[in-house]
Each structure stands twice: as C-alpha cells, then as structure tokens.
C-alpha cells in the first residue's frame, strides 16, 4: 500500500514541477505576485475550501429529510393487504338443524383489506425526535469543524517555513549586492596592479557560493508555496507572504471547536433524559379497517365474498417499567459526566501543551532578537573596519570575506529568530483558535 500511495503522488508532483519550471505556466518563479496573503487569510481559505466542509451539507440534507419523515407521522397511515389461504379444518356445527340450513365454511379463504390509522396523541415524542435530529446535525457540523481544525496548524507551519525561506533569500540577495560592490573594488585594484587576480577570484567564489544558497532557498520556497496553494485552493502561486505584526492580544482556548462539540454532546444526553418522561405518557390513535372476505371474518355464516368494516380507538400505556426509566436516566447522567471529564482533560492538555510556546514567545525569542541586534551592530563595525584595512593592504580579502560572511549569517540568524517569534505567536493562535 505504501508503494501505491507514493506512485499515486507522482503525477501531481510532476504537475507541480511543470508549473514551476515551464515558461508557459500561469505563474513562474519570476512572476510578480498579484496579492499578499497573511497567515490568517491562508488559514481561513484552507478551512473554507476543505472538502470536509461538504460533510456539513450532507448532514444538513440528512437532517432535513429526517425532519420531513417526522412531520409525516401526523398524517394518516394507509395500508392495503390481501390474504389467500387453505386450511385443513374449519368451524362447523356438529349436526344439521331442522330449522335452518347450516352454512358450510369454505376451507379456501380470501381477504382483501384497507387499513387506516390516525395518531391522536403520541405523548410529545415527535417534538423530542425533531430536536434530537437537529442536535445530531449540529453535532455533525461540530465534528467536521474539529476534523478541519488541524488544517490551521498545518497551513501555519507551511506559511512560516516558506516565509523564512523568502526572508532568508532577501538577506542573501543583500549580501550578494555587497559582494558585487566588493568585486568591482577588487577588479579595480587588480587593474591598477595594487592586488593580485586571486583577490577578485576569491570574491567570485564567495558570490557563487552565495548564489547556490539563493537558488536552494528559492527552489525550496517555491515547493512550499505550491503545497500551500494546494491547501488554500489557489490554482497557481500568485501571492506573496508577509511577516505578521507582533501582537500581545489575549488568547482564548475556549474558542476551539472541541468545546462546542463537548457542549452539544452534553445537551444530547440532557435531551435524552427529558425524553424518558415520555414513557409515562399514553398513546392514542384511531383506526379503521374495511374490505371483502370469503367468508366474512366477522360473521362465518356469510360464506360468500362479503364486505366488512371496523372502526375504533386504540390506547396503549405502560404505567410500570420496573425501574427501567430510572436506570436509563442514571446511565445518561454518567455519560454526561464523562463528557465533562473529557472536556476538562482536553482543557488541561491544551494549557499544558502551550506553556512552552508562551515561554518561547514572551522570553526566549525577545531576548534572542535583542542579542542578535547587538551582534549585527558589532559585526557591521567589524566589516567596515575590515573593508578599510583591505584597501590599505593590512587585511587580506580572505579575512574580509570571512567577516562579511559572519555578518550575513548574523542577519540570517536575526531574521530566523524574528520569523520564529512570529511563528510561535501564530501557532498559538492556530492551536487555540483565537482568530
């Protein structure tokens, strides 16, 4: 099965590669983006375009059909029946009567009937059944929201992985600009005879290494954007990403769809407890039957094909259930308490699972970003002094390029910590459902 699943992905991967590399595709890596999407917009689009949303429509359709069936319970029930039989013995008098002729009941008997019944009082069961179907529809929708909620974390993770590569590519492009400027200086020094050709070649080697990193980051970012576009149902990568603003808005874990699901489950058990009271109510309905029979089922003296009819009222009531209703109520109460315990456990797990993220967000990344700024400031001073020393022949180009590379790495580290801080915030938002 694993090999089959992997092979099934090949056509889609080839299609993705074709869109990324073909000059005739709608959006190439060099095409300017048409708009900029925030991570919140990506989460919203992923949820809206998820095939799981179809389950809500199906559940609504099922509930509508079931409610129509409930309404039909108040209509008369009509049944047409027929019967033909032969029996080995029939009712008869032991002797003949001198006063009248005793009819002979036939052993082959026939009956065609029309039965009509109309419910008069059902104890209010239809009202509870209708409310139960509506709750089942809400439960199905809530379960769909729970199943689709995990897309928030998947899309958020993809978004920030692509964003980190986007920002890293920008930092490397700036470093490439600095290298190009330094290459012009080195070539000018070589032309004047003030430096060896090796100095310019060393800068070119560093530029080639930098281009390799840019190309790798670009390819990885395009692949992640293709996957992200698939999740948000965009036909092509025609959008850019943006770093979210730092926010300290409060998060509300109770907005997660699981809590609505727990509440609906408790309401379902409460409704079923209320419905148990219906077992104490009587059921009343009117009925009628008409037809033809041979012999007449109500008068065996009429042995021909004769019409017959009967009308009346039917009452059913179970005043004693030997404690069954009480035991069922206890079962439903325990099940409701079980849902409450599951809700409390879910909340506890959610709060415990976010403690690390809160510390990373409010302490770790803030301190790291402050330290990164100090490192970059010092490294920029070192690069400026190194550039002057190269011009004066005090420092070699190799040492200068090493310091410039350290500055690039410091900027990449700072950008990484900035994106990680934003990702930590948005992952909390995605996990706690606080959009």
pLDDT in tens, 389-411: 887 878 888 888 898 889 999 99
pLDDT class of 34 with cuts at 50, 70, 90 = low
pLDDT in tens, 338-362: 999 999 999 888 888 777 777 777 7
- Checking if the pLDDT of 58 tops 50, the result is yes
pTM, 2 dp: 0.70
Q: What share of the chain in percent tops pLDDT 70?
A: 87
- Checking if the pLDDT of 22 tops 60, the result is no
| More confident: 182 or 213 | 213
Residues in a beta bridge with 108: 86
Average pLDDT over residues 248-259: 72
Provide the residue ranges of all domains of the chain, joining segments of one domain with +: 33-86+106-432
How confident is the model at residue 88, as a pLDDT? Answer: 85
Ordered DSSP codes for 42-93: HHHHHHHT-TTHHHHHHHHHHHHHHHHHHHHTTSPEEEEEEEEEE-S-----
Q: What share of the chain in percent tops pLDDT 90?
A: 23
How confident is the model at residue 247, as a pLDDT? Answer: 60
| More confident: 272 or 355 | 272
pLDDT class of 28 with cuts at 50, 70, 90 = very low
How confident is the model at residue 16, as a pLDDT? Answer: 41
> Which tokens in the block code for residue 49?
């375009």
How confident is the model at residue 339, as a pLDDT? Answer: 93
- Checking if the pLDDT of 32 tops 70, the result is no
pLDDT class of 227 with cuts at 50, 70, 90 = very high
Q: Find out whether 354 and 432 touch, Cβ atoms under 8 Å.
A: yes
pLDDT class of 96 with cuts at 50, 70, 90 = low
Q: Could you tell me the maximum CA-CA distance found in the chain, to the nearest angstrom?
A: 154
Contacts of 373 (CB under 8 A, 6+ apart): 414
Q: Find out whether 411 and 380 touch, Cβ atoms under 8 Å.
A: no
- Please name the fold of domain 33-86+106-432: Outer membrane efflux proteins (OEP) (1.20.1600)
CA–CA gap between residue 316 and residue 384 (Å, rounded): 98
Instruction: Count Cα neighbours of 85 within 13 Å in the Cβ-side half-sphere.
Output: 10
Average pLDDT over residues 31-37: 70
Ordered DSSP codes for 296-330: BTTBTT--SSEEEEEEEEEEE-----TTHHHHHHH
Helix, strand, coil abundance in the chain, percent, nearest 5? 65, 15, 25
Q: Residues, the chain, total?
A: 435
Average pLDDT, the chain: 82
Three-class SS state of 294: strand
pLDDT class of 120 with cuts at 50, 70, 90 = confident
pLDDT class of 11 with cuts at 50, 70, 90 = very low
Three-class SS state of 137: helix
Residues in a beta bridge with 174: none
């Amino acid at each position: 099965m694993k090999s089959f699943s992997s092979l099934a992905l090949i056509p889609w991967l080839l299609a993705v590669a074709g869109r990324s590399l073909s000059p005739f595709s709608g959006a190439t890596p060099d095409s300017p983006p048409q708009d900029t999407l925030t991570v919140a917009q990506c989460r919203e689009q992923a949820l809206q375009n998820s095939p799981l949303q179809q389950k809500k429509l199906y559940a609504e359709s099922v509930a509508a059909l079931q409610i129509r069936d409930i309404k039909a319970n108040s209509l008369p029930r009509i049944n047409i029946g027929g019967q033909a039989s032969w029996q080995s013995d029939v009712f008869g008098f032991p002797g003949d009567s001198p006063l009248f002729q005793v009819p002979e009941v036939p052993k082959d008997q026939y009956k065609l009937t029309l039965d009509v019944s109309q419910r008069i009082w059902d104890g209010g069961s239809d009202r509870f059944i209708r409310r139960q179907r509506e709750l089942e529809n809400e439960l199905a929708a809530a379960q769909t929201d729970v199943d689709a909620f995990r897309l928030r974390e998947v899309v958020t993770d993809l978004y920030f992985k692509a964003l980190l590569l986007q920002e890293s590519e920008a930092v490397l492009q700036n470093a490439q600009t600095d290298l190009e400027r330094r290459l012009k200086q080195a070539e000018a020094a070589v032309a004047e005879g003030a430096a060896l050709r090796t100095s310019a070649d060393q800068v070119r080697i560093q530029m080639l290494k930098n281009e390799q990193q840019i190309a790798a980051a670009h390819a990885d970012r395009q692949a992640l954007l293709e996957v992200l576009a698939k999740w948000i149902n965009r036909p092509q990568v025609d959008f850019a990403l943006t770093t979210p603003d730092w926010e300290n808005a409060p998060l509300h874990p109770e907005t997660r769809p699981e809590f609505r699901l727990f509440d609906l489950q408790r309401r379902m058990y409460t409704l079923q407890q209320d419905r148990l009271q219906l077992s104490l109510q009587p059921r009343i309905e009117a009925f009628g039957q008409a037809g033809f029979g041979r012999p007449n089922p109500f008068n065996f003296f009429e042995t021909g094909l004769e019409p017959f009819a009967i009308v009346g009222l039917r009452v059913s009531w179970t005043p004693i259930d030997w404690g069954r209703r009480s035991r069922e109520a206890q079962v439903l109460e325990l099940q409701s308490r079980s849902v409450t315990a599951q809700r409390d456990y879910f909340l506890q797990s959610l709060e415990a699972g976010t403690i690390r993220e809160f510390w990373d967000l409010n302490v770790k990344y803030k301190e790291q970003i402050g330290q990164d700024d100090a490192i970059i400031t010092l490294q920029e001073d070192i690069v400026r002094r190194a550039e002057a020393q190269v011009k004066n022949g005090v420092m070699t180009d190799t040492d200068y390029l090493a310091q410039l590379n350290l500055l690039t790495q410091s900027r990449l580290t700072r950008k990484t910590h900035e994106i990680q801080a934003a990702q930590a915030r948005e992952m909390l938002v995605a996990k706690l459902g606080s959009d």
